[in-house]
Amino acid sequence: MSVLASAGDVMQSSKRAQASEHVPTQSPAASDPADLEKRTADGAPEAREVGGAGEVTVVDPAMVKRAVSAAALGNAMEWFDFGVYSYLAVTLGHVFFPSGNPTAQLLSTFGAFAAAFLVRPIGGMVFGPLGDRIGRQKVLAITMIMMAAGTFAIGLIPSYAAIGVWAPILLLVARLVQGFSTGGEYGGASTFIAEYAPDKRRGFLGSWLEFGTLAGYVGGAGLVAVMTALLTTDDLHSWGWRLPFLIAGPMGIIGLYLRMRLEETPAFTQLEKEARAKEKARREAEKRIGLGEMVFGQWRAMLLCVGLVLVFNVTDYMLLSYMPSYLTSELKYDEAHSLRVVLAVMVLMMCVQPFAGRLSDRFGRRPVIAAGCVGFLVLSVPALLLIRQGSLIAIALGMGALGLLLVCFTSSMPSTLPALFPTKVRYGSLSIGFNISVSLFGGTTPLVVTALIGATGDRMTPAYYMMAAAVVGGIAVLLIPESARKPLPGSPPAVETEAEAREMVRGAARGGATATA
C-alpha cells in the first residue's frame, strides 16, 4: 500500500521520523533526476510527484516482506481451519450424519461444506466494500477472528448421538460463519500483497499467498494423518476429531497479531496522520461507490474474474479437498495412505510455487495460466487413470502431475486477479467476483462430483469436470490483458530501488521532451 503525499508534506514527515525512530516507508519518487539524486545523497526518501507523468513509488523491502508474511501466514491459518473439515469428511459423516449408506453420509458432509460457499458472496459484498473504505488490514483482522471462532465452535458441538438433529444444525451454523468470513479473505489478502509489491516482482510475491494456503492445507492434512495413525477408529469418532478444530482458537490469536502488527509501524502512522485531510476526502468519495459500480461498472473484468477463478478453484478443490475422500470412498484406498499422498503432493507444490511465481514475472501471467489450462485439458484423463490403478506409485504420479498443473494457477492468480480492477473498487469487486465463482463452481465441486458419480457410476467424472473447467479458464485467459511488470490500474508504477526510480523518471522526462518536440 503506497502512502502518497506532496513533496513538502513527506519531507516534513521524514525529518520528524528521523528525529525519532526512522522506519522506511514506500513513497513516491521525484520527477527531477538531479533533485532526486540530491535528496538521495542527503539521506531523505524520494517523495515528490512526477510532473506530468504521475508518481513513482519506491517500496521499502522490509515493509513488503512484513506485508507478504502477514497476509500469507494469516491465510495459512484460515485455510488450516477450512481444510481440516475436508480431511475429516468421512469421520464427520459418521459423527453428524448417521446413516447406513456411506455415500449418503459423504453427500451430507459435503453438503454442509458447500453451504459455507453459498454465503461467501454475501461476505464478499460486506467485507469487500468495507476494505475499500476503511482499509485492508482492519477487515483482514475481522475475517481472521470470525474464521477462528467458527472453527473453534465446531470442535465443541456434541455429536448426533448426544443431541440428535441439533448437531448437524449447529455444524451448519458454524460453517456459515466460516464461509461468511472467508468471503473477505482472498480478495483482501491478494489486494494487500499486490498493492505493496513492486511491479516487476508482483507475481513472485503474490505466489507466497497461495504458499500460505498450501501450508495451511499441509498443516491440516499432516495433523489428520498423525491422528489417523495414532488413534483407533473409535477414539477418532468419539473425541479425536475435535482436536484440529479446537486448535483454531490459539491459531486465530496468532494470526490476528500478525495482521494487526502492520498498523503499528511508526512511519505509517505518522504519514497517515499528516495525510488525514486528503485521506478523509478520498474515503468520503469512496463511500459513494456502490455495489452497482463494483459489479456492473466492472462487468467485463468481473466476468473474466469469474472464469479464471472457476478453473482455479474447481481444480484446487478437486485435488486438495475431494481427492482424499475419492481415494477412500470410491477406490477403497486406505484413508491414512491417501492423506499421506495428498500431503506429499502439497509439499511438492510448495517447493515449486515461488519458482512458478518468478516465471509469471518473467514470461507473463497469461502464458503460465494458459499452460495450466492446456495441461488439465490434456492430462486430466491420463492422470486419473493412473490414480485408479491403485498402486502407490501410480497414485503419486497421477496426483503429482495434477498438483504441478495446479501450481500454474496458485502461483499466478494472486497477482493476476487484483490487476483486473482499479484501486478504488479493487477489494470490493475482486471479493464479489471471486466468491460468486467459488460459491457456484469451486466449493460445490466435491458435492457435485460425488453426486454425479452416484448417479452415473462413472468414476472418471472428476477428470471430465476438470477438463470442462479448463475450457472456461482458457477462454478467460485469452481475453485478459497481460499485467506482468506493469502498474496496477489506478496506481503509480512501483519499483524496488532509488536507481530504478531515477531511471524511470529520466525515461518519463525524455518521453515528455520528445512529445513536446
Least confident of 20-29, 66-75, 167-176, 496-505: 20-29
Task: Give 442-484 pLDDT, tens digit per residue.
Answer: 878 888 898 898 889 888 999 999 999 999 999 999 999 999 9
- Binning pLDDT at 50, 70 and 90, where does residue 290 land? low
Cell for 412? Answer: 499466478
- CA separation (Å) from 135 to 272, 308, 363, 466? 12, 26, 32, 36
Query: Would residue 62 be called left, alpha or beta, if left means φ above 0 and alpha means ψ between -120 and 50 degrees?
Result: alpha
Sheet-wide strand order for 27-29: 27-29, 56-58, 494-495
User: What pLDDT score does 280 carry?
Assistant: 58
User: What pLDDT score does 30 carry?
Assistant: 41
User: What pLDDT score does 477 carry?
Assistant: 97
CA dihedral 321, 327, 332, 335 (to 10 degrees): -60
| pTM of structure | 0.78
- Residue 385 in this model has a pLDDT that exceeds 50: yes
The overall average pLDDT reported for the chain is: 78
User: What pLDDT score does 292 carry?
Assistant: 65
Measured CA to CA, the distance from residue 445 to residue 142 in angstroms comes to: 27
Measured CA to CA, the distance from residue 422 to residue 489 in angstroms comes to: 5
Taking residues 264-283, what's their average pLDDT? Answer: 46
Identify the bridge partners of residue 57 per DSSP, sorted by sequence position.
28, 494
Helix axes 335-363, 365-389, angle to 10 degrees: 160
User: What pLDDT score does 41 carry?
Assistant: 38
Cell for 169? Answer: 444444525
**Among 149-163, 359-373, 426-440, the range of highest mean pLDDT:** 359-373
- Residue 11 in this model has a pLDDT that exceeds 60: no
Taking residues 13-30, what's their average pLDDT? Answer: 37
User: How many other CB atoms are found less than 10 A from the CB of residue 238?
Assistant: 14
User: What pLDDT score does 44 carry?
Assistant: 34
Task: Give 208-221 pLDDT, tens digit per residue.
Answer: 999 998 998 888 87
CA dihedral 418, 423, 429, 431 (to 10 degrees): 60
- Residue 406 in this model has a pLDDT that exceeds 50: yes
- Residue 409 in this model has a pLDDT that exceeds 90: yes
Taking residues 30-52, what's their average pLDDT? Answer: 40
